[in-house]
Structure 1
Amino acid sequence: MTATRWTFSGRILGVGTTSGVRLVVGVWDTSPLGSFADVMVEQAGGHRILLAPSQEVADFVAGTYTFDETRIEPVEVELPGDARMEVVSSSLSLVAALGRRTAMGWLLRGIPRRVAANPLFSTATDPVARVILRGVRTRGTAGQGRREYYGATDVRAVTSVSGRLDGVDLGTLTAVDPPASFGFSSTPRRPSLTQVVTTIRQR
């Protein structure tokens, strides 16, 4: 890709588990790489794994974030009945039950999408997000001289989670704490599914 600006529109699921594993699932409806899903996993000991459906996706995501291991494997995501999210890959099976829209979600719904998706808006809201939502940034630096901007348009709570990673039970739902250390990211401490437009610029 030769563009210096890339836009990804979709959802980000961020959850913690009692096993100490924290997961960030990106489900991208539109992007320069087409429609795809990927998973960032941080194990209790800090080992960071990227699950990506293709080498092209892996190269782009790993150029933006930092991982200790990358696995190329199909990543399938379904939202049956809009009540839960199911994620399946060769390494991972995950089911997250979705709750109601949060108070922050209702607030974001009142902001026009074109405004929320504008990097200038993300820049303006970043200082506020840092204070009121621990673990959240709406702008920041990424790998390879890139800058990243998150424009959230809705948030739903996650009420429970179950799954297995490499055949090992993940345990039950808990906060995303400590924050994942992939680099710049925007996963709230409270487990949630966030509707988002992500803009990445090459400096």
Structure 2
Amino acid sequence: MDRFVGNIAGLGTGSGTRLVVGRWAESPWGPFTDVMVEDNDGKRTLLAPTRMVADYVSATYQFDQVLVVDVASTLDEDTLTVAAGPLKVSAELGGVTGLGRLLRLVPARLATSPRWLRLINPLAGLFMPGVRTAGSAGNGRTEYYGVTTARSILAATASWDGADLGGLARLTPPVRFGFSSAPAAPMLVTVVTSIRRP
């Protein structure tokens, strides 16, 4: 079982581009950030910091293009910033959401347990369409998302090769990288992602 501990940010832009940022404090390869991008035409791109990360992520999720680029990110109380090759993002963070407060009631050890995540998976999509907590990933892998809290994203700026991608928007339609999408409402979640390899 591979474990990734950190944050995932999901947001849309006025141009129709949707972004899912994974900022991992702990992983099999130490801290790193990667970004999954789906543009208005449905083209899916992975921006990864190393070939090892790119190979692992692209074996778990589906992309039309994989780019190994310099990736840097910062996260503080108010802001998430990402610079990943052609992509630049700055997001203003808000407070803990209603969902985040509800998630905090579940002890973290239980909230990140694969057994618990399999059990609640049928309910996840009822509360947040497109979202799942457990499912089949690529190449026979099984994946579990254990979210322990969530914060809103209030505003964002993003550009690709210097071209403005437009202001903050909902993450719709759902992204198509794997078995689960990020929530439609822009947010940053604290999460443990567990991937069981065959």
What TM-score range do you get, normalising by the shorter chain? over 0.9
Code of the aligned partner of 1:144? N
Deviation of 1:151 (Å): 0.4
Deviation of 1:186 (Å): 4.2
Q: Residues 133-148 of structure 1 correspond to what in structure 2 (within 5 A)?
A: 133-148=128-143
**Runs of 5+ consecutive residues of structure 1 not aligned to the other structure:** none
Say if 2:35 and 2:84, in contact at 8 Å, map to a contact too.
no
Instruction: Count residues with an aligned counterpart.
Output: 198
SS at 1:50 equivalent: strand
Deviation of 1:190 (Å): 0.6
Alignment root-mean-square deviation, CA:
0.9
Say if 2:145 and 2:191, in contact at 8 Å, map to a contact too.
yes
Q: Which of 9, 12, 18 is the equivalent residue of 2:8?
A: 12
User: Identity rate of aligned residues, in percent?
Assistant: 46
Code of the aligned partner of 1:137? R
**What residue is the counterpart of 1:129 in the other structure?**
124
Q: Which of 20, 24, 36 is the equivalent residue of 1:24?
A: 20
Q: Which of 102, 107, 110 is the equivalent residue of 2:102?
A: 107
- Deviation per residue, 1:84-117 (Å, 9 max, x gap): 1000122111011101100110111111111111
**What residue is the counterpart of 2:155 in the other structure?**
160
Cα distance in structure 2, aligned partners of 1:123 and 1:78: 32
**What residue is the counterpart of 1:37 in the other structure?**
33
- Regions of 4+ moved over 2 Å: none
TM-score, scaled to structure 2: 0.97
Code of the aligned partner of 1:99? G
Deviation of 1:135 (Å): 2.2
Q: Residues 174-185 of structure 1 correspond to what in structure 2 (within 5 A)?
A: 174-185=169-180
SS at 2:190 equivalent: strand
**What residue is the counterpart of 1:96 in the other structure?**
91
Q: Which of 64, 67, 71 is the equivalent residue of 1:68?
A: 64
